[in-house]
Amino acid sequence: MHTDPNEAYEVIPMPEEPHGPKGWWTVLCNGIPHRHFSDREKADRYATDPGYRAEDRASRVKHHDRKPV
Protein backbone atom coordinates (compact mmCIF):
# COMPACT_ATOMS: atom_id res chain seq x y z
CA MET A 1 0.00 0.00 0.00
CA HIS A 2 1.32 3.42 -0.95
CA THR A 3 1.29 6.12 1.68
CA ASP A 4 2.72 8.98 -0.39
CA PRO A 5 -0.01 11.66 -0.62
CA ASN A 6 1.68 13.12 -3.71
CA GLU A 7 0.78 10.02 -5.71
CA ALA A 8 -2.84 11.22 -5.67
CA TYR A 9 -1.91 14.29 -7.75
CA GLU A 10 -1.43 14.44 -11.51
CA VAL A 11 -0.74 17.38 -13.86
CA ILE A 12 -2.41 17.41 -17.28
CA PRO A 13 -2.88 20.05 -19.98
CA MET A 14 -6.16 21.88 -19.43
CA PRO A 15 -8.69 20.88 -22.09
CA GLU A 16 -9.24 23.71 -24.55
CA GLU A 17 -12.71 25.17 -24.42
CA PRO A 18 -14.31 27.47 -26.99
CA HIS A 19 -13.57 30.53 -24.86
CA GLY A 20 -11.20 29.07 -22.29
CA PRO A 21 -7.53 29.87 -21.75
CA LYS A 22 -4.96 28.03 -23.86
CA GLY A 23 -1.76 26.66 -22.40
CA TRP A 24 -3.10 26.21 -18.86
CA TRP A 25 -2.48 23.13 -16.70
CA THR A 26 -4.92 21.25 -14.48
CA VAL A 27 -3.88 19.49 -11.29
CA LEU A 28 -6.03 16.43 -10.65
CA CYS A 29 -6.41 14.94 -7.19
CA ASN A 30 -7.56 11.33 -7.38
CA GLY A 31 -8.76 12.02 -10.93
CA ILE A 32 -10.84 15.07 -9.98
CA PRO A 33 -9.82 18.55 -11.25
CA HIS A 34 -8.50 20.39 -8.22
CA ARG A 35 -6.61 23.52 -9.35
CA HIS A 36 -5.65 25.29 -12.60
CA PHE A 37 -2.33 27.02 -13.32
CA SER A 38 -1.02 29.07 -16.23
CA ASP A 39 2.53 27.90 -15.45
CA ARG A 40 3.55 24.23 -15.70
CA GLU A 41 6.28 24.66 -13.06
CA LYS A 42 3.78 25.92 -10.47
CA ALA A 43 1.38 23.10 -11.33
CA ASP A 44 4.16 20.53 -10.90
CA ARG A 45 5.23 22.09 -7.60
CA TYR A 46 1.63 22.10 -6.34
CA ALA A 47 1.32 18.41 -7.24
CA THR A 48 4.57 17.36 -5.53
CA ASP A 49 5.07 19.74 -2.58
CA PRO A 50 2.64 19.44 0.36
CA GLY A 51 4.10 22.60 1.91
CA TYR A 52 3.37 24.60 -1.23
CA ARG A 53 -0.22 23.29 -1.26
CA ALA A 54 -0.65 24.34 2.37
CA GLU A 55 0.75 27.84 1.67
CA ASP A 56 -1.55 28.21 -1.35
CA ARG A 57 -4.58 27.09 0.65
CA ALA A 58 -3.74 29.46 3.53
CA SER A 59 -3.27 32.44 1.21
CA ARG A 60 -6.59 31.80 -0.55
CA VAL A 61 -8.43 31.45 2.77
CA LYS A 62 -7.00 34.74 4.02
CA HIS A 63 -7.98 36.46 0.78
CA HIS A 64 -11.56 35.16 0.88
CA ASP A 65 -12.03 35.82 4.58
CA ARG A 66 -11.32 39.53 4.29
CA LYS A 67 -14.25 41.75 5.10
CA PRO A 68 -15.28 44.39 2.58
CA VAL A 69 -14.07 47.90 3.36
Element (H, E) at 62: helix 50-65
Taking the alpha carbons of 62, 11, 43, 6 in that order, is the dihedral positive or negative?
A: positive
Report the b/e string of 41-55 with b at 16+ CB within 10 A. Answer: ebbebbbeeeeebee
How far, in Å, CA of 37 to CA of 9, rounded? 14
Confidence (pLDDT) at 1: 39
How many domains does the chain contain in total? 1
How far, in Å, CA of 52 to CA of 67, rounded? 25
Confidence (pLDDT) at 38: 92
Confidence (pLDDT) at 46: 94
This model's pTM is above 0.85: no
* Chain segment 7-63, per-residue pLDDT in tens: 789 999 987 777 667 889 999 998 899 899 999 999 999 999 999 998 888 777 655
Residue 50: domain span: 5-65
